[in-house]
Amino acid sequence: MAKKNVIEILKSVGAILTDDHFVFSSGLHSDVYINKDALYPHTQLTSNVCKMMAEKCKEFEVDTVVGPALGGIILSQWLAYHLSLLKKKEIFGVYAEKMPDKSFTFTRGYDKFVKGKNVLVVEDLTTTGGSVKRIVDLVRATGGKVKVVCVMVNRNPDEVGEKMMAAPFVALDELRVSAYKEEDLPAEIAIRPINTTVGHGKKYLEAKAAQEKVK
C-alpha cells in the first residue's frame, strides 16, 4: 500500500471539514476547517504523522521539541520520540502553556529543557502564524536556539514561513484556506450559522453576546 500523505491521513479520520461556517483561534472566519483533534485519538496515525515530521527535520541539530498546549503537547511528545530514534539520543519533548492574555509561558520547570538548547518548535496548523510565532519568541526569550519550525499543515504559505519565523520552516503539506474578517465574509458563508462544535465558534459567539450586553 502506498504511503499516505498528511492530507490523506486527515481526510481518513474526517478531520477536513468543508461547506460550513467556522471561526479560527485567530478570530478569522472560513468555510473550511481542519479539525486536528479528530486525528489525536488515533495514536498510530498520530505517530505516523510525527514520524514524517521527524524525517523532514532529521538534518537539524535538536535537543528539545517544544509545542503549544494543548494540541502541541501530543505532537511534541511523538516528534521527540521519533527524532530520538533517528538520532540515537534522548530528545526532550515539552510544551508551553497559554496565559489569559494569549501569551505563552513555560511552567513545571520546562524552561530548563529550553535554555541553552537547540530547539525544534512544532505546531499543528498555521493560518496567521501568530501562535507558533509566540512560541518561537518565547523559546528565544528563554535562551533557547530555534533551529527549525515544523508544522503539520500550513494554510497560508504566502505569509507564514521562514521569513516570519526567522528560522528554517518545514510543513508536511499545504492546504490553502481562505480566511476572512467578519466584515469581509462572502455572503454564501455569512448566511450559514456559525459552527459551535469545532473551532472557536462557541467562544466567539459567547464573547459577542457579552459585548452586546455591555451595549
Is residue 142 in a domain? yes
Give the domain range for residue 94. Answer: 20-176+185-198
Is residue 143 in a domain? yes
Judged against a pLDDT cut of 90, whether residue 187 lies above it is answered with yes
Is residue 137 in a domain? yes
Check: CB of residue 81 under 8 Å from CB of residue 122: no
Domain count, the chain: 1
Classify residue 57 as exposed, middle or buried by CB count within 10 Å of its CB (0-12, 13-18, 19+): buried
Is residue 6 in a domain? no
Quote the pTM value. 0.89
The string of pLDDT tens digits covering residues 42-67 is: 999 999 999 999 999 999 999 999 99
185-188 own/partner pairs: CB under 8 Å, 24+ apart: 185/29, 188/31
CATH of the domain at 45: 3.40.50.2020
Is residue 158 in a domain? yes
Distances (CA, A) of 132 to 145, 150, 174: 15, 10, 16
Judged against a pLDDT cut of 80, whether residue 1 lies above it is answered with no
Is residue 170 in a domain? yes
Check: CB of residue 49 under 8 Å from CB of residue 38: no
Average pLDDT over residues 65-86: 96
Measured CA to CA, the distance from residue 204 to residue 70 in angstroms comes to 19
Is residue 211 in a domain? no
Measured CA to CA, the distance from residue 79 to residue 149 in angstroms comes to 12
**Which residues are CB-neighbours of 162 under 8 A, at least 6 positions away?**
168, 169
Is residue 168 in a domain? yes
Determine how β-strand 92-98 pairs with β-strand 29-30. Answer: unpaired
Judged against a pLDDT cut of 60, whether residue 140 lies above it is answered with yes
